[in-house]
Amino acid sequence: MFDRPVIARCQLHKIRNVQDRLPEKLRSVVASRMRRAYHADSALAAEAELGALAAELDRTHPGAAASLREGMTETLTVLRLGIPPTLARTLRSTNAIESMISICRTHASNVKRWRDGTMALRWCAAGMVEAGKQFRRVNGHLHLRSLRDTLERVIEPVGATRHDQIVDAA
């Protein structure tokens, strides 16, 4: 459990959501600018590029601009954490997680009468076991340890004791 979780939103879905609010002729241009921003050298540079794009869209397509601004910082989490490119390619999208959830949902769809919460947990676990048969190795899996170390530096576990605070003695 983490006191302050790190939230990352899917960049692919964000691009798609913004495109849906644009006319056909602008969709590819805006999508390529967003992709370029998401591949910037830093989260600060990416935020500046996306902010400039949103400001341009404000005049002609305010719905697309609002969609772009909504959750912008969460779409830049992968960049902010400094995740290596091979692992970042996997973490930019939530498709892997959504696939597992879909398999769990399909697996449990035959249940007609849920008795209690433990039954739901058992069926969810059984669905995850079923989904696990389709799992493949994560691209950039060798960088997962450095990601864990980064997350431990960035977040604070619930109930963690910090020893770097100044204490006044009486």
The residue written with tokens 């600060």 in the block is 44
Please check whether residue 143 lies inside any domain of the structure.
Answer: no
Instruction: Indicate whether 164 pLDDT > 90.
Output: no
Structural domain total, the chain: 2
Q: Are residues 28 and 69 in the same domain?
A: yes
- The residue segments making up the domain with residue 73 are 11-80
Q: Are residues 67 and 43 in the same domain?
A: yes
Please give the share of the chain, as a percent, with pLDDT higher than 90: 46
Q: Which of 6, 44, 1, 41 is nearest to 153 (CA)?
A: 6
- Mean pLDDT calculated for residue range 72-82: 93
Please check whether residue 155 lies inside any domain of the structure.
Answer: no
Please check whether residue 118 lies inside any domain of the structure.
Answer: yes
Q: How sure is the predictor about 159, in pLDDT bands with cuts at 50, 70 and 90?
A: low
Model confidence over 112-128: pLDDT tens digits?
888 998 998 899 899 89
Please check whether residue 169 lies inside any domain of the structure.
Answer: no
Q: Are residues 33 and 61 in the same domain?
A: yes
Please check whether residue 148 lies inside any domain of the structure.
Answer: no
- Residue ending a domain, choose from 46, 80, 114: 80
Q: What single string gives the DSSP state of each residue in 21-56?
A: TS-HHHHHHHHHHHHHHHTSSSHHHHHHHHHHHHHH
